[in-house]
Amino acid sequence: MRLNKFLAQAGIASRRESDRLIQSAMVTVNGVIESNPAYQVQPNDDIFYDNQRISIQSNTRIILLNKPNGYITTMKDPLKRKTVMDLVHTDERLFPIGRLDKDTTGLLLLTNDGQLANKLMHPRNRIPRIYKIEIDKTFQSWEVKRMATKIYIGQNEWGKAEVIEQKQIKGRATIFLKLYQGKKREVRRIIYRMKRKLFSLERIQYGPIKLGDIPMGGWRDVKPSELKSLNILTQ
């Protein structure tokens, strides 16, 4: 088994993030720093990450967090800012599946299963994410079609979003958007290109899992039926 896959199955991070951690000299094998993600782990290898011995997790655990505004999506922050890990009190090693911006609220999944996280985040699996946004006015029909096709969002990237529902109430519009990719700040970049003013951004659904009535800053374990649905989506 490759070292990056070992870290993922140990619940340290996704496969891609594990590559970065290994190359940053944060992993030792038998007391020696190993910077090659493709290193083949042997049965008797003693592997440490961040000065802690690690082993492969046997049971998958996923937590659903209602992320508040002002928290960054990372496990540790060198600047000592508030992170989502400050909200989840458990002895088990968990890490976020993807990211939500500091100013974005709502549904964030955390897990100990790097393999599942990697599958959920991979674009080819087209896992839908639904966002509730507040902007200054609704989209016209041609704008809805434009976003559903593709729209340039800068940095040589194209974004795409489906408008599920929209309604105008006085000076603000509530819009529900569905996206299938996880590009950095994609919703915000789309709204900027569509020349709208964004007041709030909340993720309310990830695949089959809905935020529901979890209080802000609260969390729960996903139900067995929800975990099964996620596994089916990534098969």
CB atoms within 10 A of CB 96: 25
Residue 22: burial class (beta carbons within 10 Å; 0-12, 13-18, 19+): buried
The catalytically annotated residue of 19, 86, 101, 103 is 101
Residues in the chain: 235
Q: Which CATH number fits domain 128-206: 3.20.20.140, 3.30.2350.10, 3.40.50.920, 1.10.10.10?
A: 3.30.2350.10
Query: Token digits for 94?
Result: 């968990």
Phi then psi for residue 216, to 5 deg, are -60, 125
**CB under 8 Å to 100, separation ≥6 — which residues?**
67, 73, 106, 108, 203
Q: What are the sequence ranges of the domains in the chain?
A: 3-53, 62-123+211-233, 128-206
Per-residue pLDDT at 207: 93
Residue 18: burial class (beta carbons within 10 Å; 0-12, 13-18, 19+): buried
What's the CATH class of domain 62-123+211-233?
alpha beta
C-alpha torsion angle, residues 120, 3, 93, 79 (rounded to 10) = -90
Rounded to whole angstroms, how far apart are CA atoms 85 and 71?
A: 9
DSSP, res 125: G
Per-residue pLDDT at 58: 63
Rounded to whole angstroms, how far apart are CA atoms 79 and 27?
A: 22
Query: Token digits for 102?
Result: 């500091």
What is the per-residue pLDDT across 52-105, written as a single tens digit (0 to 9) for each? 888 776 678 899 999 999 999 988 888 889 999 999 988 888 889 989 999 999
What is the per-residue pLDDT across 130-169, written as a single tens digit (0 to 9) for each? 999 999 999 999 999 999 999 999 999 999 999 999 999 8
**CB under 8 Å to 226, separation ≥6 — which residues?**
62, 208, 209
What is the per-residue pLDDT across 30-59, written as a single tens digit (0 to 9) for each? 999 999 999 999 888 889 998 888 877 667
Phi then psi for residue 127, to 5 deg, are -75, 120
Closest among 155, 151, 148 to 194, alpha carbons compared: 151
What predicted TM-score, i.e. pTM, was given to this entire model?
0.78
Q: Are 201 and 188 in contact (CB under 8 A)?
A: yes
Dihedral-angle region of residue 92 (phi above 0 means left; psi in -120 to 50 means alpha; beta otherwise): beta
Could you tell me the pLDDT band of residue 192, with boundaries at 50, 70 and 90? very high
Could you tell me the pLDDT band of residue 28, with boundaries at 50, 70 and 90? very high
Rounded to whole angstroms, how far apart are CA atoms 56 and 12?
A: 10
Per-residue pLDDT at 57: 64
**Is residue 213 annotated as part of the catalytic site, yes or no?**
no
What is the per-residue pLDDT across 208-226, written as a single tens digit (0 to 9) for each? 999 999 999 999 999 888 8
CATH T-level fold of 3-53: 3.10.290
Cα atoms in the Cβ-side hemisphere of radius 13 Å centred on 59: 3
